[in-house]
Amino acid sequence: MEQLLGSLRQLEQELGSAPDPDWVVEWKAKLVGLLAKLKGWLKPAIEGKPPLVEWTDLEVAISETEGEVYKAPGARLIGPKGRFVEIVPKARHIFNAMGRVDLVSRRGRAMLARFAPDEWSFVWTSADGRWESAKLTEDSFAEVLSEMLG
């Protein structure tokens, strides 16, 4: 166990002191912006009397395909009867997009992809196997969240 602890301490020193690459800094900023937008849309539910949704910030570990490991912001939304949805960033480097964030609940998973610097869309595969998408709007978010908390 001492050897493991020593190895972990050494790794923490090596990785902990290195600054994030520019693309990680940019990606985290986009995630902060996305979460602020979603939280803003939920403000009436979060601040209601009584609150209908509890918002908790999370920190998520991400391991990119290039081997880069970093922590990024996410969130957990707790609704009626303790039902929850986690907003989990998955990766900045994904095929045909500039990042992916999943909304995960007991009802399944909804994927958000960033196709332009400030453009997020829900993506899914249709019954015939084609990829479909719908822009993230307050209405599309409300629809997906309602289904996931239901």
pLDDT above 70: residue 51: yes
By percentage, how much of the chain surpasses pLDDT 90? Answer: 66
Write down the domain spans for the chain.
22-149
Interhelix angle for 22-41 vs 138-149, to 10°? 80
Q: Give the per-residue pLDDT at 38.
A: 98
Model pTM score: 0.85
- C-alpha distances out from residue 2 to 11, 13, 43, 49, Å: 14, 17, 48, 51
Residue pair 55/75 in contact (Cβ under 8 Å)? The answer is: yes
Per residue in 65-83, pLDDT (tens digit) is 777 788 999 999 999 999 9
User: Element (H or E) spanning 22, and its range?
Assistant: helix 22-41
